[in-house]
Amino acid sequence: DAMVIQNPRYQVTQFGKPVTLSCSQTLNHNVMYWYQQKSSQAPKLLFHYYDKDFNNEADTPDNFQSRRPNTSFCFLDIRSPGLGDAAMYLCATSRKQVTPGEQFFGPGTRLTVL
């Protein structure tokens, strides 16, 4: 089945220690998104790629970076995690031209910062 995969499902890191979360998709979608979701809140968009074009949300901290080496993979790098970065990180994909706004989500990575 075509899907969005996130690894790892659970990540524990230390305060200030860089961490990378990964996302891969077999849907061949041209748009990939990274969301941060804290407890009992809606997902908050951090950034997204439309093909290779990177789009950063205005309020995304500089501590967060992303890479998309090819259509299938996208990475979220947190350079110096703080306690406030502990959250669920969701990767999503979509096909802009076909179904505007419909997104396909991965299972998420739960990040704990000690």
Partner 1 sequence: AQSVTQPDIHITVSEGASLELRCNYSYGATPYLFWYVQSPGQGLQLLLKYFSGDTLVQGIKGFEAEFKRSQSSFNLRKPSVHWSDAAEYFCAVGPSGGSYIPTFGRGTSLIVHP
Contact positions toward partner 1, by CB under 8 A?
Answer: 4, 6, 31, 33, 40-43, 45, 48, 50, 88, 90, 92, 94, 96, 99-108, 110
To which residue do tokens 């396909």 refer?
A: 104
The separation between CA 85 and the C-alpha centre of its own chain, rounded to angstroms, equals 13
Joined together, the tokens standing for residue 98 give 């076909």
How many other CB atoms sit within 10 Å of the CB of residue 75?
A: 16
Tell me how far, at minimum, the Cβ of 38 lies from partner 1, in Å: 12
Could you tell me the smallest distance in angstroms from the CB atom of residue 96 to partner 1? 4
Residue 83 tokens read as 């306690």
Q: Based on CB atoms, which residue is closest to partner 1, 51 or 80?
A: 51
Q: Phi and psi for 108 in degrees, rounded to 5? A: 95, 155
Q: Which is nearer to partner 1, 22 or 79 (CB)?
A: 22
Which lies closer to partner 1 via its Cβ, residue 8 or residue 16? Answer: 8
| Nearest CB to partner 1, comparing residues 83 and 98 | 98
Closest separation between CB of residue 14 and partner 1, Å? 23
* Contact indicator for 25, 32 with CB cutoff of 8 Å: yes
